[in-house]
A and B are shown apart, each in its own frame.
Chain A
């Protein structure tokens, strides 16, 4: 699975959009971009995933560049409860038994 590069940490003002970048320059054609987050002392929570088209759900939007070498997770109106570690993971679609490997992630701090 392709490796990802994320900034170590970011700050965001409450109520503003949080834009979390992820570089995955070695991504293959059949690999998806997944985003998870982990709030302190909890298990990771699925946010969103995509292949090449932009995706949106009730939690966030995922913008993938045309060459698919990078993506941005957007939390449109960040709240204090969005403070967490955000993980960008690139891998093939969830095949049987395929494991999910986590990198270091980005610590997002939402401040009032």
Chain B
């Protein structure tokens, strides 16, 4: 089946630095990727949708300059949290799907970001 790999699984960074999270579709071409954020004991909140080769579409209230999304190839999307602060500490999850919803929605295993 479709596999999505997310890296790193955990990261700790200092306040003010930037962190990049990678999301890779290993065995299919991901025309669309989604990024979610999840705070403890809460549901997943969609942050943005990215289509390969296009600018990401951000959900209302998500700062596009803070959460930079790049989807330059059909197998890789990256989320960069710029100038991270403790309130950005969260569980970040990516999801990918192929053209016309092929391969369904496959999720990565998530990245636990802790900003100290």
The answer on a CB contact under 8 Å between B46 and A97 is: no
The answer on a CB contact under 8 Å between B110 and A100 is: no
Which of B91, B105, B112 touches A94 (beta carbons < 8 Å)? B105
- Number of A-B residue pairs having CB atoms within 8 Å of each other in the complex: 59
> Which residues of B are found within 8 Å of A95, using beta-carbon distances?
100-101
Chain B residues bordering chain A, tally (CB within 8 A): 28
The answer on a CB contact under 8 Å between A102 and B44 is: yes
Within residues 74 to 112 of chain A, which ones have a CB less than 8 A from any CB in chain B? 85, 87, 93-105
Among A13-21, A22-30, A39-47, A60-68, which stretch is in contact with chain B? A39-47
> Which residues of A are found within 8 Å of B93, using beta-carbon distances?
43-44
Mask, B77-116, CB within 8 Å of A = 1, is 0000000000000010111010111001111111010000
The answer on a CB contact under 8 Å between A45 and B107 is: yes
The answer on a CB contact under 8 Å between B109 and A100 is: no
Would you give 28 A-B contacts (Cβ < 8 Å), ordered by A? Answer: A38-B44, A41-B91, A43-B4, A43-B94, A43-B95, A43-B109, A44-B44, A44-B93, A46-B104, A46-B105, A46-B106, A85-B43, A93-B101, A94-B97, A94-B101, A94-B105, A95-B100, A95-B101, A96-B31, A96-B32, A96-B99, A97-B51, A99-B46, A99-B49, A100-B95, A102-B43, A103-B43, A105-B43
